[in-house]
Amino acid sequence: ADEVWVNGRPYRGRLEVTRTGPAFRVVNLLSVEDYLRGVLQMETSDTWPEQALKAQAVISRTYALRNRGRHGRQGYDFCREPHCQTYGGAQAERRLTDAAVDATRGEVLVDRKHRLVGAVYHSTCGGSTESAENVWERGGQSYLVPVSCKWCRGSPHYTWMAKVSNELVTRSLEAGGVHVGTVRALGILSHTPSGRVYRVRVYGDRATVDLKANAFRNLVDPRLIRSTFWSGLSKRGNVWQIHGRGWGHGVGLCQWGMRSLADKSMNYGQILRYYYRGVSIDDYRE
């Protein structure tokens, strides 16, 4: 058998087990292509069109190769959580997602200088993707610019309403090092050209602080506040109500848009060049 088992789950490749105090750290050592077989079904679905799965294979491969060593201090490259790409091991493999990995073997996205691009992606953009520099401190890549996307309307996350208790906002900001005391009010200071909230002002009983909206979202609860594409912010009693569109940071490729474009018979190269501007597909060589 070419699989090893941990906690009842099968994995490809080898395992490296290290004792860390009372527990063990288990690291799965495997090739990039085998890793992708455990990622694709977790990040998309084998019910999606073939060209969408191929596009996801290329960006997941590019992302993995560019971000190797992300957890280097802990002694491995990636964790299995969404912020690194969700990884499910061999039990996440499906025939059609495996086929997309095989059909694009070694293919990556590169910029005009043939460097691996930061192939970031998200579930649903809500009508327009966002410039990287409006979301992260180290943004500004020429290929991560806003593009209009009217194809993700079929996403179950296209519109949403979050109910966020004031206590959660207060507690989360304090835990994240933003010391304003008890939150008294929230205000929207500015928007990005694509329509997302850019900066929010938090009024506390001890201090007032301005934050990038994406930082605020990540501190409070990014699963609850699904994006910074807010259409309304109000307070009822002790609960903030945020109406919004889309799910994720909004930068790079919109996966539900990718799915619709593939349904409209766009091939994976065309889809990738739509969401990442000025890039090309190349074979990866060490």
Say if residues 102 and 40 touch (Cβ distance below 8 Å): no
Reported as a pLDDT band with limits 50, 70 and 90, residue 286 is: low
- Express each pLDDT in 136-193 by its tens digit: 988 889 999 999 999 999 999 999 999 999 999 999 999 999 999 999 999 999 999 9
Task: Please give the pLDDT value at position 139.
Answer: 81
Taking residues 119-128, what's their average pLDDT? 97
Q: Within 92-164, where are the H helices?
A: 95-103
Write out the two tokens for 133.
């520099």
* In the predicted structure, residue 211 carries a pLDDT above the cut 60: yes
- On whether the pTM is more than 0.75, the answer is yes
* Cα–Cα distance, 141 to 160 (Å, whole number): 29
Write out the two tokens for 146.
């806003």
User: What's at 42, amino acid-wise?
Assistant: M
- Percent of residues, the chain, with pLDDT higher than 90: 95
Task: Please give the pLDDT value at position 137.
Answer: 84
Task: Please give the pLDDT value at position 138.
Answer: 83
The label of the residue with tokens 């909004």 reads 250
Helix (H, G, I), strand (E, B) or coil at 59: helix
Task: Please give the pLDDT value at position 263.
Answer: 97
Average pLDDT, the chain: 96
What 197-200 contacts at long range (C-beta under 8 Å, 24+ apart), as own/partner pairs, is: 197/228, 197/229, 197/230, 198/134, 198/228
Please compute, for residue 130, the number of CA atoms within 13 A of its CA located in the half-sphere on the CB side.
29
* In the predicted structure, residue 41 carries a pLDDT above the cut 70: yes
